[in-house]
């Protein structure tokens, strides 16, 4: 494999794999943020107990 192809392959490997990890990490953070902003409300706990 000539130098140009190696450079292309390694660029794709580093930037591609790195970009995939980075994008999914950002997505994970965004999902965590969503969960914090909109937590699950326990309806049973919110409902006043009937005497």
Partner 1 sequence: MLDSLVTGLYGLTAGVTYLFTQGGPNVIMLLIAALLLYLGVKKEVEPLLLVPIGFGCLLVNIPLSDLMDKGGLLRILYDMGISNELFPLLIFVGIGAMIDFGALLEKPKMLLFGAAGQFGIFFTLLVALALGFPALEAVSIAVIGACDGPTSIYVASQYAPQLLGPISVAAYSYMALVPIIQPPIMRALTTPKERMIRMEPIKRTVSTQTRLLFPIVVTLVTGLLAPKGLPLMGTIMLGNFMRECAVVTRLQKASENEIANIVTLFLGLAIGGTMEGHAFLKPQTLMIFAMGFVAICMDTVAGVVFGKIVCWMTKGKVNPLIGAAGISAFPMAARVVQAQGQLYNRKNHLLMHAAGVNTGGQIGSVVAAAVMLSVLKGMGLIT
Considering beta carbons, is residue 3 or 51 the nearer one to partner 1? 3
Among residues 5 and 49, whose Cβ is nearest to partner 1?
A: 5
Residue 5 found at the interface with partner 1 (CB under 8 A): yes
What does the block give as tokens for 10? 């390694």
Is 43 a binding residue for partner 1 by CB under 8 A? The answer is no
- Is 45 a binding residue for partner 1 by CB under 8 A? The answer is no
Q: Both tokens of residue 36?
A: 């914090």
What residues contact 9, with CB distance under 8 A and at least 6 apart? Answer: 1
Q: Tell me: does residue 40 bind partner 1 (CB under 8 A).
A: yes
């Amino acid at each position: 494999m000539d130098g140009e192809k190696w450079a292309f392959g390694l660029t794709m490997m580093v930037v591609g794999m790195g970009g995939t990890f980075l994008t999914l990490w950002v997505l994970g953070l965004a999902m965590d943020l969503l969960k914090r902003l909109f937590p699950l409300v326990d309806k049973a706990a919110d409902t006043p107990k009937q005497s």
